[in-house]
Amino acid sequence: MKLVIAGGGFGGLRLARKLNNKKGIEVLLVDRFNYHQFQPLFYQVATAGLDASNISFPLRKVFQKSKNVRLRLADIKSVDAENKKLITDTGEIPYDKLVIATGAGTNFFGNKELETYAFSMKSTVEALQIRHRLMENFERATIEQDPLEVERLMNIVVVGGGPTGVELSGAIAEMRNYVLPKDYPELDFSKMKIYLLEGSGKVLGTMSEKSSDQALKYLHRLGVTVVTNYLVASYNGKTLTNKVGSSIETATVLWAAGIKGHVPEGITKVEPVRGNRLPVNELNLLKPYDDIYAIGDVAAMVTTEYPNGHPQVAPVAIQMADNLANNLLAQLSGAEQKTFRYRDKGAMATVGRNLAVVDVPKPKLHFAGFLAWLVWMALHLMLILGVKNRLFVFLNWLYNYVTYDQSLRLIFREFHREDETVPV
């Protein structure tokens, strides 16, 4: 059986690893990057705490010794379900069975202006772009004469109070508190404002009430201006306004307010559901197709417990991959397939040094502060692929912790040449 996996994120990579060196199944893993991205730490790449390479793992290295898993670097364009082919920018790939594990991208909810001017952070490359922009803005501020423009260059707005927005705004606040004033003695950082804007009534809305409250306290402690019930109306690259007409002057809007499934074209027999996700049954099969599956962020498996599909987080993708791998092998051996059941191990978010919140569902408990922060770090270290990456992340964290210094404040592109293509 020739299995094609579209996407090398948490779900796709896990599935390929589970099927590695299994008999009777040929696997082709397709991704537009040649490395697996560890999404949970994008915000630390953006804020100069980690190197992009620390959270990236070459896919070919994972399968160097594999007998049945091959790689293809390609942009996925569409599915030709009729002829059982995946269409990519580097050619057509025939399949017997296809697994769509393409994840989710940023959702600007149709606002073209935001799409043009706001930054999203759904890839390592985008995280690097944010880092470069942050650094360049301060450089520009040092030579800017107009006080309003200086304010704009220094102010940073993060939209979306989920884990990504909380972690990103917290990390930027720590840069402002510890590093930036030393780097830029010319600038008055008491004037720099960091906003976290959330559309609903609270941050970390998917976590417990206690964790949400605690995270808000931590954000205040770090000096983040949190505004809830804020609904962004427009942003022209300079001024952000909300639905009731109040405005914020900023050159930098980081958008973490929504995601939507990356659904390839050609899936004509199925209508995507909320969040542009593909509805799958409890075997992750994309009915009425009998040879196309979907797992992870792009899949929506509606159950009584999860009427809107499961949360779009790594553990769901990984567990779906595990279950699907077993089912594919069961098909080959004629054994019975098992329906998916999510084991929720909890949620966590970190706001800053020594500041994190953890919710555990069974037994129901939550804790916060230094211990939560240690747990957060230990878990993320364990999940990172590769001994070397783990060591380098740990050393970077240790360095940052001891020195209060995110040391990777490097702009790896030609400055002031945005008009030219610098394909790094």
Taking the C-alpha atoms of residue 118 and residue 253, their distance in angstroms, rounded to an integer, is: 5
**CB pairs under 8 A, 24+ apart, for 286-292?**
286/100, 289/81, 291/84, 291/95, 291/96, 291/97, 291/98, 292/79, 292/81, 292/97, 292/98, 292/99, 292/100, 292/267
CB 232 within 8 A of CB 197: yes
SS3 assignment, position 206:
coil
CB atoms within 10 A of CB 65: 9
Taking the C-alpha atoms of residue 180 and residue 295, their distance in angstroms, rounded to an integer, is: 41
Closest CA to 195 of 187, 203, 184, 205: 203
Please give the structure tokens belonging to residue 61.
Answer: 């290295």
Q: Say how far residue 306 (Cα) sits from the centre of its chain.
A: 22
Taking the C-alpha atoms of residue 294 and residue 176, their distance in angstroms, rounded to an integer, is: 42
CB 294 within 8 A of CB 286: yes
Closer CB to a copy of itself, residue 140 or residue 210?
140
Amino acid at 134: L
CA dihedral 211, 213, 219, 222 (to 10 degrees): -100
Residue with tokens 């696997």: 27
Q: Minimal distance in Å, beta carbon 107 to a copy of itself?
A: 19
Closer CB to a copy of itself, residue 90 or residue 281?
90
Count how many Cα atoms sit within 13 Å of the Cα of residue 318 in the half-sphere of its side chain.
Answer: 9
Q: Minimal distance in Å, beta carbon 135 to a copy of itself?
A: 6
Closer CB to a copy of itself, residue 26 or residue 344?
26
Question: At how many degrees (to 10) do helices 124-143 and 147-154 cross?
Answer: 160
Closer CB to a copy of itself, residue 52 or residue 157?
52
Q: Minimal distance in Å, beta carbon 394 to a copy of itself?
A: 11
Show the CA angle centred on residue 170, arms to residues 165 and 172, nearest 5°: 100
26 is catalytic: no
Q: Minimal distance in Å, beta carbon 136 to a copy of itself?
A: 8
Closest CA to 324 of 30, 85, 10: 10
Closer CB to a copy of itself, residue 92 or residue 209?
92
Question: At how many degrees (to 10) do helices 10-18 and 314-333 cross?
Answer: 30
Closer CB to a copy of itself, residue 289 or residue 392?
392
Catalytic residue among 126, 136, 151, 167: 167
| Strand partners of residue 235 | 240
Closer CB to a copy of itself, residue 91 or residue 205?
91
Interface with a copy of itself by CB under 8 A: which residues?
A: 32-35, 51-53, 56, 58, 60-61, 64-65, 70, 72-75, 89-91, 124-125, 128-129, 132, 135-136, 139-140, 142-143, 182-184, 186, 386, 388, 391-392, 395, 399, 405, 407-418, 420-424
Q: Minimal distance in Å, beta carbon 49 to a copy of itself?
A: 12
Residue with tokens 């569902």: 361
Q: Minimal distance in Å, beta carbon 396 to a copy of itself?
A: 9
Q: Minimal distance in Å, beta carbon 210 to a copy of itself?
A: 37
Q: Minimal distance in Å, beta carbon 323 to a copy of itself?
A: 29
Closer CB to a copy of itself, residue 125 or residue 231?
125
CB atoms within 10 A of CB 22: 16
CA distances (Å), 37 to each of 284, 320, 346, 388, in order?
23, 18, 22, 15
Catalytic residue annotation: 167
